[in-house]
Amino acid sequence: MRRDDDQGNQQNSGESIELNKKQSNPQSNSLIQQLGQKGSLSKVEYIQLLQDDSEQTVENIFEIARRIRNRHYSNHIYVRGLIETTNYCRNDCYYCGIRKSNRQVVRYRLSEKEILNCCYRGYEMGFRTFVLQGGEDPAWTDEKVVKLIEGIKQRYPDCAVTLSLGEREKASYQLYYEAGADRYLLRHETANDSHYRKLHPPELSLEHRRQCLWDLKEIGFQVGTGMMVGSPGQTLECLAEDLLFIQELQPHMVGIGPFISHHDTPFRDKQNGTLLQTLQLLGILRIMLPKALLPATTALATIDRMGREKGILAGANVIMPNLSPQEARKNYLLYDNKKSTGLENADELEKLKKSMSDIGYEIVVSRGDHAGF
């Protein structure tokens, strides 16, 4: 049954979000309506809307976001099987727990057989999309990636393959697309060059990362991007520029989550991002991109025990349970205290379905091409 109303509400979550009781800005509702009608705001208007984290304004964002999501997707929540292929990485990003200079990481690479076993287990549970995520591992050559894509597609032709393997050259992306990959996720992390420099070593550039996203779109991939919320040095101006870039790119998916520090990085003592700001941005993104796929990320579930559910109630409609082997999962730690979101068997999938049912939503494990991602 379609759900165009607002049946999934805040009270059903079991826990409330701590909202600011301060008075809302009278112009905020007008900005929300304008965003819904035009799909865009100016930089100054995004900043103004983000500045207003009052209870009245944030609840209004959530309510409108849910109505828009329900209009396009009913009460369906799409589930994608995540497989973390490798925690080797050639990069040294200052925020990341698997950065190359972290000598405390127990490194691993899943074999093709191990990855295919993960796909087999996921397929048996009903998954029809597999997301292959990993660090930028030099051992994962184009030849190896192509062979893996072809192996998955040969065994599971009715499944979508999503890659999240970082920055590559356009020729490599073209090979993956021709091998059968359907989707590619690459967070831009920040659209502000000065902020980018605070997060990454000099050999990396925002220009190249953005070009990768445009290349992927030109080739024909369904493209996902996104950013960390509350990362060190981030301002509301940075977030407004993120929204402007997303508005320009028009991705099929946007993955955002709060920044969470890792004890073996230069940002070990930095303050984490907040639940409220992340949820506020999720709602804004849903209003901006009505048909986009917005995950309720593991990072949300890490900073709040009901974070995943609250993400859904803010407008998200995708969950990515982890199908990786336990040994790999515990070593793919991009940040501290990462919540386990794995599915070991059909019983755990039923528990996930119940957690969504409890807040008025229905898990869909099919490929769901009509939904984009």
CB contact set of 326 (below 8 Å; sequence gap of 6+): 342
Q: Which residue has the higher pLDDT, 330 or 17?
A: 330
Whole-number Å distance between alpha carbons of 125 and 252: 25
Distance, CA of 161 to CA of 151 (rounded, Å): 11
Please name which of 201, 261, 255 lies closest in space to residue 227, comparing C-alpha atoms.
Answer: 255
What integer pLDDT is reported at residue 370 of this predicted model? 44
pLDDT band for 344, please (50, 70, 90 cuts).
Answer: low
pLDDT of residue 8: 39
Q: Cα dist. 268→203, 233, 260, 272, 302 in Å? A: 22, 14, 9, 10, 16
What is residue 257's three-state secondary structure? Answer: strand
Residue 328 pLDDT grade (very low, low, confident, very high; cuts 50, 70, 90)? confident
- pLDDT in the model for residue 18: 60
At residue 186, the pLDDT reads: 98
Alpha helices in the chain (DSSP H): 28-38, 43-51, 55-73, 112-125, 142-155, 170-179, 193-199, 206-219, 236-249, 275-288, 298-303, 307-313, 326-329, 346-357
- Condensed to tens digits (0 to 9), the pLDDT of residues 96-107 reads 999 999 999 999
pLDDT for the residue numbered 3: 38
Is the pLDDT confidence value at 75 over 70?
A: yes
- List, edge to edge, every strand of the sheet that includes 81-86: 81-86, 129-134, 160-164, 183-185, 222-225, 253-254
Q: Return the closest-CA partner of residue 226 out of 196, 275, 273, 188.
A: 188
pLDDT tier at 342, thresholds 50, 70, 90: low
pLDDT at 64 over 80: yes
**What is the CA angle 51-334-167, rounded to 5?**
85
Q: Are 150 and 132 in contact (CB under 8 A)?
A: no
Cα-only R_g, the chain: 19
Give the per-residue pLDDT at 351.
Answer: 87
> Residue 14 pLDDT more than 60?
no
Give per-residue pLDDT as tens, 125-182: 889 999 999 999 999 999 999 999 999 999 999 999 999 999 999 999 999 999 999 9
pLDDT at 313: 97
User: What percent of the chain has a predicted confidence (pLDDT) above 70?
Assistant: 90
Is the pLDDT at 345 greater than 70? The verdict is no
CA distances from 365 to 4, 149, 166, 223 (A): 21, 20, 26, 20
The candidate with the shortest Cα–Cα distance to 188, out of 201, 169, 207, is: 207
- Under the banding of pLDDT at 50, 70 and 90, the label for residue 248 is very high
Category of 133 on φ-ψ map: left (φ > 0), alpha (ψ -120 to 50) or beta: beta
pLDDT single digits (tens) 182-201? 999 999 999 999 999 999 99
- In tens, the pLDDT along 25-35 reads 889 999 999 99
Give the pair of three-digit tokens for residue 164.
């999240």
Domains of the chain: 76-371 (3.20.20.70)
Token pair for residue 59?
A: 């609840």
Q: What is the pLDDT of residues 20-62, one digit of tens each?
A: 666 778 899 999 999 999 999 999 999 999 999 999 999 999 9
CA 20 – CA 58 distance, rounded (Å): 9
Measured torsion, CA atoms of residues 16, 18, 22, 27, in degrees rounded to the nearest 10? -70
d(CA 151, CA 218) in angstroms, rounded, equals 25
Q: Which of 2-16, 96-110, 298-312 has the lowest mean pLDDT?
A: 2-16
Task: Assign 4 a pLDDT band (cuts: 50, 70, 90).
Answer: very low
Confidence grade of residue 356 (pLDDT, cut at 50, 70, 90): very high
